[in-house]
Amino acid sequence: MIQTLNRILIGFAFLLLAYLFIVYVAYAVNLIQFPFDYDQGEGFELVDVMMFSQFKFPYADIESYPFYGSIYPPLYHVILVPLAWIFGAEYWYGRLFSFITTLITAMLIGYAVYKETIRRTPDANHFITRWVAVLAGLVFLASNIVYHIGPLFRQHISMVMFETAAVVVLAHVNEIQHTRRRRYVLFVGFALLIAAGYTKQLAAFTAIAVLIFLFIRNPRRALTWGAGFTLVGMGIFAALTILTNGHWWTQTIVANVKDFDLNQAEGLFRLFIRTHLWLVIPALLMIVYEVYLDRISIYAIWFVVTLGLSAYSAGTWGAGDSYYATAVAAMAILSGIFAARTLTNGWGLPRFTRILSTLGLIVIPLLYIEYAVGVFHTPTTEFFFRQVTDALNIEDNTGYNYYDPDGYITLAYAQIGHFTTDADIQNGNRIVDHIAAIPPDVPVLSEEAAFSFATDREVITNPVVLYILDQVGAYDSSELVAMIEAQDFGLIVLRAQFFPPAVNRAITIYYEETERIPMNGFDYIILYPRDEPLIE
């Protein structure tokens, strides 16, 4: 009877997570076809790719025309360079690549769960273990946090792939007896860490976790390889600093020293716990078990370190829920190992094994069901999804024909996940028409790069970089402000007004709004030069 109920519950958990995977695939397909920025900053990632494809660095003098700089490391962009050579400046291949990296990460998670279970209990039921491994991979893809950023032309999720690969590779490196093979595995693991770090700086959290784990197991080896890892990383850093005349340092280090907002950090942490609680619990139980009855694993240290440091860094300006993506991967592995051990009698506790396994037959699938309910997100109007949401009595709670578990109410929670529409594309083309009407020799200032790409114009500025450096006193906006005061720009397109205050003030005085064009739930403000400056 219990076995039958277990199969029914596991089947239901799988159906819920599989539905969320279908939503994710549909979302990715929708975004891959969209020709404009969906998330603020995607276009500037593409600018970086195009600059690298022309053998130029995007880390340049932001105080001189065209005022462009980048705050992100180069690897993600360099990987996409061959596609830029073939297809030119297109959004689809960056989004496709990001989507593929999430699938690879999910497979790595499933692999880790399966291997850890079989390693611990060689005679474990392989059928059950494989099912739990599949569920663990789907858990990662089902997270509303991973869903949001998975198909974007952004580097964050690729960093998570490299981090996860590094942790999985290094999980049992100290148990390898053959010296040459152990060194090879260490080399691969640390190379993946460097790749993660030069995809995005937040990978430093995973590097810290890995070094702590290696030090606990073998201090001498950890210090030796850690020193080598540090030297290589610093060597690359120093080379980039020299080759860019110091702009690499300013834009990737100075620009990331940002203000901390406790309310934002608290709101995002509450969001993570609220939506992921049911699998955070078994992950924490797994850690408690390892601390008191077993050896602490790399996955436990990874989860604790990345969750703690991500919770803090998520409170900085410009951060968001995406900062928890790495912790989601660690949680998926730990909770998956907990589930597989419980269902395959792998705890090594003779007194309690039978009781735990019997309870686990019911509790484990219920945890996955509750998790799927907690992160449940779905479009509400498209074919098939409309029928499902009608049957479940789920309604749009975001205003974008989309249901999100938090309803877009949390501070710094990404207001994305909804599908783009034909109306969005048409309105994007209306903005393009405005820019195309400006003579080619007259520059246009657009807060998003897509419209410049669509009209074969030079991309001018990266507003967020300018704003951040202005906040830390490392940017002088006088030259850009002078161009605005001289009305050198034939048109300005704003969305979030992320420019430094002096720039936004000059735009208000010397340019006037003529139209607001909605796209993806945001209003794009079209401004033309005023006949007379606005008197303050």
Average pLDDT over all residues of the chain: 93
Asked if 474 and 255 touch (Cβ cutoff 8 Å), the reply is yes
Q: How many CA atoms lie within 13 A of 215 on its CB side?
A: 10
Report the C-alpha gap between 279 and 452 in whole angstroms: 44
413: left (phi over 0), alpha (psi -120 to 50) or beta: beta
Report the C-alpha gap between 331 and 328 in whole angstroms: 5
Tell me which residue has tokens 């195009």. 50
* pLDDT tops 90 at residue 67: yes
Check residue 350 and give its pLDDT. Answer: 64
Q: DSSP 3-state assignment of 83?
A: helix
* pLDDT tops 80 at residue 1: no
Asked if 452 and 434 touch (Cβ cutoff 8 Å), the reply is no
Predicted confidence band at 237 (pLDDT cuts at 50, 70, 90)?
A: very high
Asked if 519 and 427 touch (Cβ cutoff 8 Å), the reply is yes
Could you tell me what percent of the chain has a pLDDT over 90? 82
Report the C-alpha gap between 408 and 410 in whole angstroms: 6
Report the C-alpha gap between 270 and 262 in whole angstroms: 12
The predicted-structure confidence for 29-66, as pLDDT tens digits, reads as follows 999 999 999 998 899 999 999 999 999 999 999 999 99
Q: Per-domain residue ranges for the chain? A: 2-34+91-375, 422-529
The predicted-structure confidence for 203-229, as pLDDT tens digits, reads as follows 999 999 999 999 999 999 999 999 999
Predicted confidence band at 357 (pLDDT cuts at 50, 70, 90)?
A: confident
Q: DSSP 3-state assignment of 26?
A: helix
Check residue 5 and give its pLDDT. Answer: 87
The predicted-structure confidence for 379-406, as pLDDT tens digits, reads as follows 999 889 999 999 999 999 998 999 999 8
SS (H, E, C) 99-150: HHHHHHHHHHHHHHHHHHHHHHCCCCCHHHHHHHHHHHHHHHHHCHHHHHHC
Check residue 349 and give its pLDDT. Answer: 66
The pTM of this model reads: 0.95
Expressed in percent and rounded to 5, the helix, strand and coil fractions of the chain are 65, 5, 30
The predicted-structure confidence for 412-471, as pLDDT tens digits, reads as follows 787 899 999 999 999 999 999 999 999 999 999 999 999 999 999 999 999 999 998 998
Tell me which residue has tokens 């999980």. 171
Check residue 41 and give its pLDDT. Answer: 87
The predicted-structure confidence for 401-423, as pLDDT tens digits, reads as follows 999 998 888 877 878 999 999 99
Residue 156 identity (one-letter amino acid): H
The distance in angstroms from the start CA to the end CA of the chain is 78
The predicted-structure confidence for 142-191, as pLDDT tens digits, reads as follows 999 999 999 999 999 999 999 999 999 999 999 999 999 999 999 999 99
DSSP summary character for residue 444: E
The predicted-structure confidence for 498-521, as pLDDT tens digits, reads as follows 999 999 999 999 999 999 999 998
